[in-house]
């Protein structure tokens, strides 16, 4: 998967599940088999395999055959693109706050007290 083909919706959807996030955290320490990934969970090997399939379809995890084993590992390019998108988004939000700070710093008026809300009649 190249850095330009990651489906962000699929990636964020895959990461919306806490078990899949835990699997990604475990894979950050290195490749692991389904059995190794299942150890800390009260899940069947089949359930862990299904979680891995979701992560694989999202492009976040790769599976390779190593003799009789099929260890899973994180996909570097996909995670790089996801991280890049998050950093771009963070920079955009920070820029907005910086503009707001500058605007507030240039305003010589003291802040006005909050106005009470009008009560609505039932």
Domains, the chain, with CATH or none: 1-105 (1.10.10.10)
Percentage of the chain exceeding pLDDT 90: 44
CA–CA distance, 37 with 75 (Å, rounded to integer):
16
Burial class (CB in 10 A: 0-12, 13-18, 19+), 56: middle
33 CB contacts (<8 Å, ≥6 apart)? 69, 70, 71, 72
Considering only residues 8 and 20, tell me which one the structure prediction assigns the higher pLDDT: 20
Tokens at 116, concatenated: 């009470």
* pTM confidence score: 0.70
Location of structure tokens 């008026």: 109
Q: Taking residues 49-70, what's their average pLDDT?
A: 89
Location of structure tokens 């939000």: 93
- DSSP secondary structure letter of residue 4: T
CA–CA distance, 59 with 3 (Å, rounded to integer):
10
- When pLDDT is cut at 50, 70 and 90, the band that residue 94 belongs to is confident
What is the predicted pLDDT for the residue at 43? 92
Using the predicted structure, report yes or no on whether residue 1 has a pLDDT greater than 50.
no
What is the predicted pLDDT for the residue at 98? 83
- DSSP secondary structure letter of residue 32: B
- When pLDDT is cut at 50, 70 and 90, the band that residue 86 belongs to is confident
Q: Taking residues 61-68, what's their average pLDDT?
A: 82
Using the predicted structure, report yes or no on whether residue 4 has a pLDDT greater than 60.
no
What is the predicted pLDDT for the residue at 120? 65
Using the predicted structure, report yes or no on whether residue 17 has a pLDDT greater than 90.
yes
Burial class (CB in 10 A: 0-12, 13-18, 19+), 77: middle
Tokens at 56, concatenated: 């694989």
What 3-state DSSP class applies to 115?
coil
What 3-state DSSP class applies to 22?
helix
Instruction: State the average pLDDT for the chain.
Output: 85
């Amino acid at each position: 998967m190249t850095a330009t083909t990651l489906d962000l919706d699929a990636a964020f959807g895959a990461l919306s599940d806490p078990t899949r996030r835990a699997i990604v955290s475990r894979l950050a320490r290195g490749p692991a088999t389904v059995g190794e990934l299942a150890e800390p969970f009260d899940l069947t090997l089949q359930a862990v395999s299904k979680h891995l399939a979701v992560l694989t379809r999202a492009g976040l995890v790769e599976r390779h055959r190593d003799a009789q084993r099929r260890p899973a590992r994180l996909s570097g390019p996909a995670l790089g693109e996801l991280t890049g998108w998050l950093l771009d988004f963070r920079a955009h939000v920070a820029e907005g706050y910086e503009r707001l700070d500058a605007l507030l710093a240039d305003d010589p008026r003291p802040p006005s007290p909050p106005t009470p809300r009008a009560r609505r009649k039932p």
